[in-house]
Structure 1
């Protein structure tokens, strides 16, 4: 009687696609990185401009927001690491911001158009500065968008 040995094919488990929560981490990382740079730049400009009678007050406000973004960025970076998620490159062009990432061996990219990115930056920046969202309507929409059209 002949016996056959059953061969089992063991295939490595394919990495799961990135989850919505993980994409949210990538998005937060991008936003916090850009916001942090804007706050640092603004703080330097306020200090050097000579236009303010009490620049230290405004620098203190912006500096406090900078510290908040730094702490948030550290936490998001820890979360990225715990999810085996690595941001490889960040690029920006006239359409928006793109990040290429790897997650558990899976490669991907996320592209966020400027209008949405700027709006979310403004909302978060207002929160980090301790400002309410109700004051966001003080400026006309066009002016608000133009204010964020900075080169990062």
Structure 2
């Protein structure tokens, strides 16, 4: 008779995927806020800026969907996420039956969001 095998515990790759999911969620929120602000400004070319940000949103949505599919295949489910006072973003997840949590600090999250937005814009900030 075979022994029932236990699933492997969460790996570094699993946590990286969860963090990627969070970053895409935060980036969507940032873009949504910025689009809302642009809509209230009286800029002559606001519609062009808004369309550009909406185009980026579509790309982010496609990547977020892909990340969600990878999480599903790996047996990862985010149970809750919330902002912690002054520290960052706390996430509780379930990964193949194991409960876990991940704390991402604000400075590193902001830097990652900035880097991702720059890559979606196709811009190299080092050139400036």
Question: Structure 1: any 5+ residue segments left out of the alignment?
Answer: 1-7, 139-152
Alpha-carbon distance, 1:11 to partner: 5.8
Partner of 2:60: 69
Partner of 2:44: 53
Q: How does 1:80-91 map to 2 (within 5 A)?
A: 80-91=71-82
**Highest CA radius of gyration, 1 or 2?**
1
What is the TM-score normalised by the length of structure 1?
A: 0.78
- Taking the aligned partners of 2:126 and 2:53, their CA distance within structure 1 comes to 20
Contact 1:64 1:129 in 2 (8 A): no
What is the TM-score normalised by the length of structure 2?
A: 0.91
**Which structure is higher in helix share?**
2
For 1:60-114, what per-residue CA distance to the aligned partner results, in whole angstroms no more than 9, with x for missing partners? 1111111111111000000000101000001112211111000110000111111
Question: Structure 2: any 5+ residue segments left out of the alignment?
Answer: none
Where has structure 1 moved over 4 Å in runs of 4 or more?
none
* Matched positions, count: 127
Alpha-carbon distance, 1:12 to partner: 4.0
Q: The residue matched to 2:100 in structure 1 has which SS?
A: strand
